[in-house]
Amino acid sequence: MFKLRRYLRGHYLECVLAPTFKGLEAILQLIAPLVMAQIIDVGIANRDAGFVVSHGAVLAAIALVCYVVAIVAQYYSSKLASHFGTGLRNDLFRHVLSLPREDVDALGRASLVTRITNDTQQAQDGLNMFFRLILRIPFVLVGSVVSAFLVDGWEAACLLASSVVAVGLILAFMCVTTGRYRKIQQGLDEVTLKTAENLEGARVLRAFRQEGAEKDTFAQVAGGVRDMQVGTGDISGVVNPLTYAVVNFGLIALLWVGGLQVDVGGLTQGQLVALVSYVSQALIELLKLTNLITMLAKASACARRINDVFATVPSQVDGTKEAPSPAEGTPAVELDDVSFAYPGASGDSLSHVSLRVMPGATLGVIGGTGAGKSTLAALLMRFYDATGGTVRVNGADVRAVTRQSLRRQVGIVEQNPQLFGGTIASNLRWGAQDAGDDDLMSAVETAQAADVVASKDEGLGSRVEQFGRNYSGGQRQRLAIARTLVRRPSVLILDDAASALDFATDAALRRAIRRDCAGTCVVTISQRVAAVRSCDQILVLDGGAVAGLGTNEELLTGCEVYKEICESQLTSEEAGR
């Protein structure tokens, strides 16, 4: 938690006021037993009704002031905690978005969701309780013991001994449970992962009738978390009774010794009542301390997990230059002996790939499953860095330019595009925030999505549900293509982006892009020969290596892999066109 103290900056006033008001409340509560002792020893003993009423009014005033002070303290501690939680979540989310895919994969998407939501909330709650009780508990505990010593030394010794033993038990409890709470949070990561998988894959789950198996798997994962929570709860459940027992044994000893003192006149009845009141206050604060330690143990475990994310240094270093615009005579896309291997992989996904594509030209990329086609697109977008060779866009090494400027020049549409809740227009404007409706409709028409917009009563203002669930796969793909076209990138990558379209719509899309994006370098990645055979160049990948590079006619005569793909999809007459 200490490493997260930077989120308290600018709120030092609340850091002071919250515990100060709680400390003031504690002081007032320590005064109340002394007033009660006076009422018993003077007012009741002398049958002085006026004294009882006046001091009773003092007790009522103390109670009222304590109430007001407690409200003020809780207001400032809650305000401080809310600012802390908001700043922490914002920075954590911002940091996660700055991480490349490689680092996000290493941390785990489900784990990141848990850390941004549950872990930050636990840290916020722990901070709230800390500032509410950090001064109150020591004030009351120490104040009760000191006040007891002012009344009588033997009775105070009983209270001190029981308090020391109880605090020792609580600290031992904290040492045991902190590690267990961290394991519980890790278990919640697994629960989040299984939940996300089953919700997103509900159709597949039902299609294969795996509901029963997945229920059992989820029950096993959730049961593991439950067992850890129950085990930790059992430990927690022992602490309160032990604290009760220790403090009550101290109370028994106090009453025993105090009763003898009252009999011999060494202690008044009012003083004995005050001592009992101090023991009760100490017991309450020790129980609060137990709850505080529990919350701090959870918060500490969660804070460590949050700090692990912050400690993750991006494996990519962002460039410093602006990505250049297309220039005549400079290749729009150039790969120079590029190789790449995924972290932990046994071999290269791409091996010694070299090619050049000029502005306005088209490149088709084809190959079998696992040939490295999508990996090539990821390197052009700099989702990953090549492990060998150089990737250049408009003549600049992608590692030398800022990712933001690179992605203004290079746009990608993937096979499973993501739409966000909002409207069609708000999704399209992800490509360019300042785009007007005419620009949006132009991109929509090029993407062959005009019928999608026209079929909705509100046109561009039509609602898009979360993940675009109210649109079909083909509609989502066309809207995603339109979103990328709004940006007008100099390099457009279509990574199987038309896989859900029928052949006629796919052909119309390719013609429209060639017509409306004349100066754009288009990289079409597809399993379909029909989608790439009209490209200026076709790159054939086989097992990550270049099997062929050339036009459709050149590859049909000089590349056996391409010829086999064509024969599996087209007739000999169609392949030769």
Question: Can you tell me the mean pLDDT for 20-48?
Answer: 81
Question: Percent of the chain having pLDDT more than 70?
Answer: 93
- Does an H or E element contain 423, and which? strand 422-423
pLDDT category of residue 576 using cuts at 50, 70 and 90: low
What pLDDT was estimated at residue 571? 59
pLDDT category of residue 448 using cuts at 50, 70 and 90: very high
Q: Is the CATH code 1.20.1560.10 the one for domain 2-310? A: yes
pLDDT category of residue 94 using cuts at 50, 70 and 90: very high
Question: Per the structure block, which two tokens stand in for 10?
Answer: 């600018």
What pLDDT was estimated at residue 570? 67
For the ranges 63-67, 132-136, 414-418, 482-486, the lowest mean pLDDT is seen at 132-136
- Does an H or E element contain 85, and which? helix 49-98
* Beta pairing, strands 333-340 & 388-393: antiparallel
204 versus 413: the higher-pLDDT residue is 413
Q: Which fold has domain 333-575?
A: Rossmann fold (3.40.50)
Q: How far apart are CA 226 and CA 339, in angstroms?
A: 46
Res 299 pLDDT > 50? yes
What pLDDT was estimated at residue 572? 52
Question: Can you tell me the mean pLDDT for 197-226?
Answer: 80
Q: How many other CB atoms sit within 10 Å of the CB of residue 105?
A: 13
What pLDDT was estimated at residue 428? 92
The pTM (predicted TM-score) of the whole model is 0.73
Tokens 């929509």 belong to which residue?
A: 444
Q: Are 388 and 344 in contact (CB under 8 A)?
A: no
Q: How many other CB atoms sit within 10 Å of the CB of residue 196?
A: 13
Q: How far is CA 554 from CA 179, 301, 313, 401, 551, in A?
A: 64, 62, 46, 36, 5
* Beta pairing, strands 537-542 & 362-367: parallel
Question: Can you tell me the mean pLDDT for 333-351?
Answer: 89
- Sketch the domain layout of the chain as residue ranges: 2-310, 333-575
Largest CA distance in the chain: 120
What pLDDT was estimated at residue 573? 47
What pLDDT was estimated at residue 492? 94
Angle of the 120-133 helix axis to the 49-98 helix axis, nearest 10: 150
Res 436 pLDDT > 70? yes
Task: Classify the C-alpha dihedral 185-307-194-464 as positive or negative.
Answer: positive
Question: Can you tell me the mean pLDDT for 498-509?
Answer: 88
137 versus 89: the higher-pLDDT residue is 89
